Amino acid sequence: MRSGLLLEGVRPLGGPRQRILIKEGRIAEVGEHVGDRAAVRVDCTDLVALPALVDLHTHLRQPGGEHAETVASGTRAAAAGGYGAVVAMANTDPVADSVAVVEEVAHAAAGAACAVLPAGAVTRGLGGEALADIRGMAASRAAVRVFSDDGRCVHHSALMRDALRQIAAVGGVLAQHAEDPLLTVGAQVNDGRIADLTRLPGWPAAAEESIIARDCVLAAHEGARLHVCHVSTAGAVEVLRWAKARGIAVTAEVTPHHLLLTDDLALTGDPLYKVNPPLRAPEDVAALRRALAEGIIDAVATDHAPHAAADKTPPWCGARPGMLGLETALAVVAETLVETEAMGWADVADRMAVRPAHIAGAGRRFGRPLQRGEPASLVLIQRLPWQVRPADSLSLSRNVPYSGRSFTHRPVLTMLDGRITHDHHGLLNGAGPT
């Protein structure tokens, strides 16, 4: 009987061709001459192998928004994008601010196409007034380590300080949606030229940068870990650079859309391009790419935000912010950073798997090196031009901002603990789990 898989010709982290032998859900061996007569051989010539990706920022919409996404559909989209784990944001209905809701999400994710790490809300009902049951959620079966009011900023300084203290005590991280709401009342598009041209209220960079600066100071005083969600401005990068130089325990993420798209897309009036924080100017995009390559920004996180079609139709001001991201993130990073030679595949693995896994407290299971004895959780990437067709998405929603756009790379096979969770070409048809 066949047992195990022998992936032939793969290039771990984009390096020289190797064979990877997978048995019983683990990597049994990696090397040029590895062989195993019982294993099913799979021709993977020149496919780049990375550890399965980890997304720090996914909106799965369950409970309460199942018309837009569910744990099942969102995790299928994640697997198609090369992900082995996603952090599920807490802005559901009801909000994930209690043991009951985070355990419900964890339960719904049993057997799903990728692992789900439920985030807990920082404040009750995302209301920004009283802390959620942080200790309870951390101690629950969902073992929450990422706490976030994402969608909203934890604005009240004293509450933020108390939250940092409690979250530090449970060994977690506070993921802040950095937006001073007093500076973004009615804001619709990037402040400056685009706000002037569209005559819509502008979204100033200061709303983001001032909160990041404040929170870095609070985190330093509390000895707590802070993570900054979807950094979008060049100034925010400078604040992070300052905080990191001082040894403050801050990490940050950037979204694929902020690495690729610019604020002039708002001139189309198409709410597909409406997102929070807004698309920014080309100078910001350039600074974000540099910061990711340098490591000042630690991670790429999708902010996959599914919305029903009715919520993304004009007029702009009535539409909800957010765009899909799980299935296209790797292609965007390959195009903006690998093809431009700003980053190598080892850097991509670091920013999309290793660091996110550590930030989420999942570093023992995810973001592991592709070595003997490690879990067989990996993604294989092919260099093959392809075109984005929203109808192909495995998400229940269609609000992908890259319709018709071509990319050069795509994940073709995703494996989680030896289980095939996505197989674009049917490479492993019939091979079954290892």
Which residues have a catalytic role annotated? Answer: 303
Judged by beta carbon distances under 5 to 8 A according to partner kind, the member of Zn ion, ligand DOR, none in contact with residue 232 is: none
Query: Using the rule CB under 6 A, which residue among 120, 204, 271, 322 binds ligand DOR?
Result: 322
Instruction: Give the range of 231-239, 242-250, 315-323, 351-359 binding ligand DOR by CB under 6 A.
Output: 315-323
Minimum distance, C-beta of residue 180 to ligand DOR, in the bound complex (Å): 14
Judged by beta carbon distances under 5 to 8 A according to partner kind, the member of ligand DOR, Zn ion, none in contact with residue 368 is: none
Return phi, psi of residue 349, to 5°. Answer: -60, -40
With respect to ligand DOR, which residue has the nearer C-beta, 151 or 367?
151
The amino acid present at 246, given as its one-letter code, is R
With respect to Zn ion, which residue has the nearer C-beta, 50 or 207?
207
Query: Using the rule CB under 6 A, which residue among 19, 161, 177, 280 binds ligand DOR?
Result: 177
By CB under 6 A, residue 255 contacts ligand DOR:
no
Query: Using the rule CB under 6 A, which residue among 305, 349, 388, 420 binds ligand DOR?
Result: 305
List CB contacts of 109: < 8 A, sequence separation 6 or more: 71, 75, 88, 115, 116, 118
Minimum distance, C-beta of residue 317 to Zn ion, in the bound complex (Å): 19
By CB under 5 A, residue 274 contacts Zn ion:
no
Minimum distance, C-beta of residue 275 to ligand DOR, in the bound complex (Å): 4
Beta strands 173-176; 146-147: pairing state: parallel
List CB contacts of 204: < 8 A, sequence separation 6 or more: 183, 184, 187, 191
Query: Using the rule CB under 6 A, which residue among 82, 118, 151, 401 binds ligand DOR?
Result: 151
Task: Count CB atoms within 10 A of the CB of residue 156.
Answer: 13
CA 399/CA 379 separation, integer angstroms: 25
Instruction: Give the range of 18-26, 141-149, 238-246, 317-325 binding ligand DOR by CB under 6 A.
Output: 317-325
By CB under 5 A, residue 150 contacts Zn ion:
yes
CA 146/CA 214 separation, integer angstroms: 20
User: Between residue 363 and residue 422, which ones bind ligand DOR under the rule CB under 6 A?
Assistant: none
With respect to ligand DOR, which residue has the nearer C-beta, 151 or 202?
151
CA 138/CA 145 separation, integer angstroms: 6
By CB under 6 A, residue 312 contacts ligand DOR:
no
Structure-block tokens of residue 224: 């707590």
CA 315/CA 295 separation, integer angstroms: 38
CA 116/CA 88 separation, integer angstroms: 6
x-or-dash string of contact with ligand DOR, 258-297, rule CB under 6 A = -----------------xx---------------------
Query: Using the rule CB under 5 A, which residue among 76, 145, 177, 307 binds Zn ion?
Result: 177
With respect to ligand DOR, which residue has the nearer C-beta, 42 or 119?
119
By CB under 6 A, residue 150 contacts ligand DOR:
yes
Instruction: Give the range of 22-30, 92-100, 319-327, 343-351 binding ligand DOR by CB under 6 A.
Output: 319-327
- Please work out the total of residues on this chain that contact ligand DOR, with binding judged by CB under 6 A: 12
With respect to ligand DOR, which residue has the nearer C-beta, 151 or 271?
151
Burial of 353-366, coded b for 16+ CB within 10 Å and e otherwise, reads bbbbbbbbbbeebb
With respect to Zn ion, which residue has the nearer C-beta, 22 or 163?
163
x-or-dash string of contact with ligand DOR, 15-54, rule CB under 6 A = ----------------------------------------
Query: Using the rule CB under 6 A, which residue among 11, 59, 76, 355 binds ligand DOR?
Result: 59
List CB contacts of 393: < 8 A, sequence separation 6 or more: 77, 324, 327, 400
Minimum distance, C-beta of residue 74 to ligand DOR, in the bound complex (Å): 12
Binding site for ligand DOR (CB under 6 A): 59, 91, 150-151, 177, 275-276, 303, 305, 320-322
Binding site for Zn ion (CB under 5 A): 150, 177, 229
